[in-house]
Amino acid sequence: MIRKYFGTDGIRGTVGQPPITPDFVLRLAHAVGQVLKKSESRPTVLIGKDTRISGYMLESALESGFNSAGVDVVLLGPLPTPGVAYLTRAQRASLGVVISASHNPFADNGIKFFSAQGSKLSDAWEQAVEAALDEAPVWADSASLGKTRRLDDAAGRYIEFCKSTFAHDLTLKGLKIVVDAAHGAAYQIAPKVFHELGAEVTAIGCAPDGLNINQEVGATHPGALVRAVLANHADYGIALDGDADRLQLVDAAGRLYNGDELLYLVVSDRLAGNDLIPGVVGTLMTNMAVELALKARGLQFVRAKVGDRYVLEELEKNRWLFGGEGSGHLLVLDKHTTGDGLISALQVLQACVRSGRNMAQMLAEVTLFPQTLINVQLRPGQDWKSNTQLAAKTRAVEAELGDAGRVLIRASGTEPLLRVMVEARDAAQAKACAERLVEAVRAE
């Protein structure tokens, strides 16, 4: 069954345009309620949101839709996506709901869901919801309507959970840290987590007005963090995205570290503590240098499709704990069931504090391979997979690179674009090879 509304991470779009309209969101909540009631007579759902102005409207629509199906609602207020996942599990709720469009600008918003275990839901569950959307509503009578209450200390509970993932015998005392919450869901929480663990905290991107989420700050605009770290002579800088499920880190020199490097650093720390780690999951875009460094330490490495839900699927299939992608989504499954920017940052800082080394020193043996990525516009109906010239040039490039590089060609999931990526130890070689492949695409 082809999904009509759900994408790779819930339902997302521009506010005021289908499907992000209050009437559809009410129907969506009612349909989800009908699915829940097939296995539970009186479900309870938790609803959290980021700081977009549209969150008020969508929260009200969700609340009405769930109540109309006989589902109780607990409102959490502004809370990071992984915080909703945690509280869903801790409160023994039936479902967690997040109103957020993550790193998108304020004009967008979305709805995503977590299971009672705090994990992403299956394709089959999403298909069941879409099927229920096509059915007539079953309005509960007055005696059966759901009720709504607010969990006033949701942020405090999540702060304590984040702190509990940091080693109890360590502290952040003596460290100056800049925290950038992207004017998003973690604007109150993130500074408190690091301050309460002992750090001297400077906060930027922590003054939301409903319209400025992700605007020139946060994980998608790390330049603001780099400037603040240098201006404040800080030891580290931590940037989250709008819903705080991913991060970027900066060191005292202003160098930015991506998710691939941070994943290696966390795994390296665990190996130093004699943890048993059979393997690690990355994505098709994970830098080859990280793959080679992990394999050199005797670890298996598996590449999943791009997207943290696919990384999680591979981890669960292999029963492994560590995975992530370069964008800063890290999964540390012995600490949380989903990607969490705050907890990932704490794992990195814990590694540095415990080893007495900074990030640059811990990653001295990992030099990222240069990558050249070129997006090529595809004509309507263009079948790039049958392009024999492209296939021949791809084989030639792969032979030229050998074990010192790789080629990745994939279609965009959202635009008529073909993404051509070549990775090599030499930047000029990567660029030249990518351009040869692009010529073959355009020549068709």
Tokens of 233: 């002579």
Question: What does residue 341 show for φ and ψ, rounded to 5 degrees?
Answer: -60, -40
CATH architecture of 157-256: 3-Layer(aba) Sandwich (3.40)
User: Is 224 within 8 Å of 206 (Cβ atoms)?
Assistant: no
User: Is 176 within 8 Å of 232 (Cβ atoms)?
Assistant: yes
Whole-structure pTM over 0.85, yes or no? yes
Per residue in 348-388, pLDDT tens? 999 999 999 999 999 999 999 999 999 999 988 889 999 99
Question: What's the pLDDT at 443?
Answer: 86
Query: Could you give the CA distance from residue 119 to residue 112 in angstroms, rounded to a whole number?
Result: 11
Question: What's the pLDDT at 362?
Answer: 95
CATH architecture of 371-443: 2-Layer Sandwich (3.30)
pLDDT mean across residues, the chain: 95
Per residue in 42-58, pLDDT tens? 999 999 999 999 999 99
Per residue in 240-293, pLDDT tens? 999 999 999 999 999 999 999 999 999 999 999 999 999 999 999 999 999 999
CATH architecture of 11-152: 3-Layer(aba) Sandwich (3.40)
Residue 11 identity:
I
Residue/partner pairs of 86-90 with CB below 8 Å, 24 or more apart? 86/118, 86/158, 86/161, 86/336, 86/337, 87/46, 87/48, 87/151, 87/154, 87/157, 87/158, 88/46, 88/114, 88/115, 88/116, 88/118, 89/116, 89/117, 89/118, 89/337, 90/157, 90/161
Residue 98 identity:
V
The mean pLDDT of 177-190, rounded to a whole number, is: 98
Per residue in 378-437, pLDDT tens? 988 889 999 999 999 999 999 999 989 999 999 886 678 999 999 999 999 999 999 999
Query: Could you give the CA distance from residue 155 to residue 90 in angstroms, rounded to a whole number?
Result: 13
Question: What's the pLDDT at 120?
Answer: 87
Question: What's the pLDDT at 390?
Answer: 95
pLDDT of 189 higher than 90 = yes
157-256 matches 258-362 in fold: yes
Per residue in 81-128, pLDDT tens? 999 999 999 999 999 999 999 999 999 999 999 999 999 898 899 999
The mean pLDDT of 312-328, rounded to a whole number, is: 96
For the chain, domain boundaries: 11-152, 157-256, 258-362, 371-443
Cα-trace Rg, the chain? 23
Pick from 271, 278, 222: nearest CA to 103: 222
pLDDT of 174 higher than 80 = yes
Per residue in 132-170, pLDDT tens? 999 999 999 999 999 999 999 999 999 999 999 999 999
Tell me if residue 102 is catalytic: yes
pLDDT of 223 higher than 80 = yes
* CATH class held by domain 258-362: alpha beta
Confidence class for position 1, pLDDT limits 50, 70, 90 = low
Spot the catalytic one: 54, 102, 119, 344: 102
